[in-house]
Amino acid sequence: MTLDREQVLRSAAALLTRKSTATMDEVARAAGIGRATLHRHFAGRDALVRALENLGIQEFEAALDAAELDKGTSEEALRRLIAAVEPSAGLLSFLVTENQLFEGEEVNEGWSRTDARVSAFFRRGQERGEFRIDLTPAWLTEALYGLVSTGAWAVQVGRVAGQDFQYMIVELLLGGARRSVEQ
Amino acid sequence: MTLDREQVLRSAAALLTRKSTATMDEVARAAGIGRATLHRHFAGRDALVRALENLGIQEFEAALDAAELDKGTSEEALRRLIAAVEPSAGLLSFLVTENQLFEGEEVNEGWSRTDARVSAFFRRGQERGEFRIDLTPAWLTEALYGLVSTGAWAVQVGRVAGQDFQYMIVELLLGGARRSVEQ
DNA sequence: ATTCAATGAGACATTCATGTCTCATATGGG
DNA sequence: CCCATATGAGACATGAATGTCTCATTGAAT
């Protein structure tokens, strides 16, 4: 036996991504373990969510690393980032929603780090003349989170094909819906 | 006395927009009435949320009407729509999140109507050559919802100035973050 | 002034998720 | 083979929100 704590977190993430109000019992069943065992690994629901938050931050930071945002053009870097983030999109979507419930309480410092990195990426792109300067880096950062969440949900419910996830997000984020003249 | 049911709904919307987990007691206090009275007007929390859902749908449909999406260019129409939707953005944001919890259960038919209208608007824009055809109307519709929600939240927490709400959403949705050559 | 309907406050029962605990069982190492 | 450890199942208590009810009070209409 000696179950894998990491594996439990993965299945919890998968379940909570689909049903964010799942009970501890449902989370345990989904992981194929008993509720008591789940409590032995995570002191409570808060602890579980915090662990998931740390996992999400860790995965997001890994995606930021993997994307090598300072290499090549900003556009290429953004494409790499969205590609790298796709496997974590569902979890991040859950965490974003969950975070909004905290309305003022202390938030995990990890988000400040990721916010800073994403925001700095957009600012660099602006300084290089590759991104518009009339949209603030803070807004572009939030928009990226929002579109990734929306995309994950749209794929989840079947409104968007899974294989289009990256393309739809990147293209909208980069070029918008307007048909440009050169096309 | 003879309190206004509409007024109660408004204050409930305002509160739940900020704190989506507010209890019936908090909702009642926010409306300046007792919990018993709140229950006399809305059978329970479900009934309250359903009433809010109908209010949100009604407001969104009113915004769709007011925007006159078939007049002028698609771009102008989209600007009118976002402007008309801004006062309801918080409520819609709450309802979108709330709806995702229903994961499969019956959804209010009103959303089908609004989805159809927004989606048809993007499709018309594509047919007119004003919108890109490589982004599906379904995705553009979801993206619009997502950006409106994200924008409402970003303003809520102070990451984006309230006066920039419309501009940030419309510009990103239309033109994206890329700095185009003609600028 | 009287009457009547609506309200506010609070008591009460119910439900549900959570957290804790016990105990029998199974697994894996020595 | 035996033992230590982890697990699963379930019982149990707790807390929170909900929903229902009563009753005194308020406000408005007559």
Domain boundaries, chain A: 1-42, 56-175
Does residue B91 contact residue A141 with C-beta atoms inside 8 Å? Answer: no
Which pLDDT tens digit goes with each residue over A63-88?
999 999 999 999 999 999 999 999 99
Residues β-bridged to residue B131 = A178
Lowest-pLDDT range, B55-59, B63-67, B81-85, B106-110?
B106-110
Does residue A93 contact residue A40 with C-beta atoms inside 8 Å? Answer: no
Q: pLDDT value at position A104?
A: 63
Beta strands (DSSP E) in B97-172 are: none
Report how far apart, in Å, the C-alpha atoms of A17 and of each of A52, A57, B59 are.
11, 15, 29
- Kindly report the average pLDDT of chain B as a whole number: 93
Q: pLDDT value at position A6?
A: 86
CATH of B49-175, one of 2.60.40, 1.10.10, 3.30.1370, 1.10.357: 1.10.357
Span CA (A98) to C1' (D13), Å: 29
Burial class (CB in 10 A: 0-12, 13-18, 19+), B82: buried
Q: pLDDT value at position B37?
A: 94
Look at residues A24, A48, A53, A157 and name the one whose alpha carbon lies nearest to residue B102: A157
Q: pLDDT value at position A100?
A: 80
Q: pLDDT value at position B182?
A: 55
Residues 6 or more apart from B77 whose CB is under 8 A from it?
Answer: B67, B68, B69, B70, B71, B121
Q: pLDDT value at position B3?
A: 53
Q: pLDDT value at position A103?
A: 66
Say if residue A41's pLDDT is above 90: yes
Look at residues B74, B60, B63 and name the one whose alpha carbon lies nearest to residue B122: B74
Contact A176 B176 (CB under 8 A): yes
- Kindly report the average pLDDT of chain A as a whole number: 93
For chain B, what is the radius of gyration of the CA atoms?
A: 18
pLDDT band at B145 (very low <50, low <70, confident <90, very high): very high
C-alpha of B115 from chain center: 12
Residue A160 DSSP SS3: coil
Contact A160 B21 (CB under 8 A): no
Q: pLDDT value at position B103?
A: 66
Which pLDDT tens digit goes with each residue over A143-163?
999 999 999 999 999 999 999
User: Which phi and psi angles does A105 have, rounded to 5°?
Assistant: -65, 175
Does residue A50 contact residue A40 with C-beta atoms inside 8 Å? Answer: no
Does residue B160 contact residue A145 with C-beta atoms inside 8 Å? Answer: no
Q: What value does the mean pLDDT take over residues A116-139?
A: 98
Nucleotides of strand C within 7 Å of the protein's CB atoms? 6-10, 16-22, 27-28
Here the tokens at position B179 are: 């700095």
Say if residue A1's pLDDT is above 70: no
Q: pLDDT value at position A2?
A: 44
Does residue B68 contact residue B121 with C-beta atoms inside 8 Å? Answer: no
CATH of B1-42, one of 1.20.144, 1.10.3470, 3.30.420, 1.10.10: 1.10.10
Q: pLDDT value at position B4?
A: 80
Nearest nucleotide relative to B1: CA against C1': D27
Answer positive or negative: Cα dihedral of A102, A104, A105, A106: positive
Which pLDDT tens digit goes with each residue over A7-29?
899 999 999 999 999 999 999 99
DSSP 8-class letter at B70: T
pLDDT band at B2 (very low <50, low <70, confident <90, very high): very low
Residues 6 or more apart from B38 whose CB is under 8 A from it?
Answer: B8, B24, B27, B28, B31, B48
CATH class belonging to A56-175: mainly alpha
Q: Which residues touch strand D (CB under 7 A)?
A: A 1-3, 32-37, 40-41; B 1-2, 23-25, 35-36, 39, 43-46
Which amino acid belongs to residue A121? F
Place of tokens 């303003």: B155
Say if residue B165's pLDDT is above 60: yes
Here the tokens at position B12 are: 């409930």
Residue of A102 and A21 predicted with greater confidence: A21
Instruction: For residue B160, give the nearest of A101, A139, A183 by CB distance.
Output: A139
Which pLDDT tens digit goes with each residue over B42-73?
999 999 999 999 999 999 999 999 999 999 99
pLDDT band at B105 (very low <50, low <70, confident <90, very high): low
Contact B20 A100 (CB under 8 A): yes
pLDDT band at B26 (very low <50, low <70, confident <90, very high): very high
